[in-house]
Amino acid sequence: MPSAANGGWCGTGAAAAEAQSLDRIVKDWMFPTELTRRSFQASNGEFGWSREDARIAISILVQEQRAILGGELWWVSDGARDWTGRIPQRHGPDAVYPWETKRAPGEEWASFVVRCADESLQAIDRWPGIDDLPSNLAGRILYNLTWVSETEYGDLK
């Protein structure tokens, strides 16, 4: 079920700018040019993909042994240069659609990577539901993924 709260990446200063620059280099290397060209790229370098392209990105992340820690849906209205995580609903207030996968104690990295991918694919297939969105909603619903390498994951602790 979507939640009513929103979160996102936040950073300021030279360290944040350097991290964003490095992230863009790694992302550009990891994904085919066609895939990045079709994506929506936020000002901080994060990607928003169509449902089909998100599935392709997940496949690539698994091949690269990246664990998808979670994700969220983005709404990019027609002509917008930015996204929002608050998505209008057919009935009721706007909703946020996040998911998160946590590593189980003692779980091998390769198993965690596969489980993260499976849970992300389930979220992509599940959301939004056919009756969730207004029929006249202008714009695109995109899927944003958050991933890490095993080394990066160890640094999170």
Arithmetic mean of pLDDT, 38-46: 91
Report d(CA 135, CA 26) in Å as an integer.
37
Predicted confidence (pLDDT) per residue in 66-96, tens digit: 999 999 999 999 988 899 999 999 999 999 9
Q: 118 or 6, which is more confident?
A: 118
What residue ranges do the domains of the chain occupy? 13-156
Contacts of 133 (CB under 8 A, 6+ apart): 87, 88, 89, 90, 141
Predicted confidence (pLDDT) per residue in 106-141, tens digit: 999 999 999 999 999 999 999 999 899 999 999 999
* DSSP state letters, 120-132: HHHHHHHSS-TTT
Q: In the numeric block, which tokens belong to residue 56? A: 């392709």
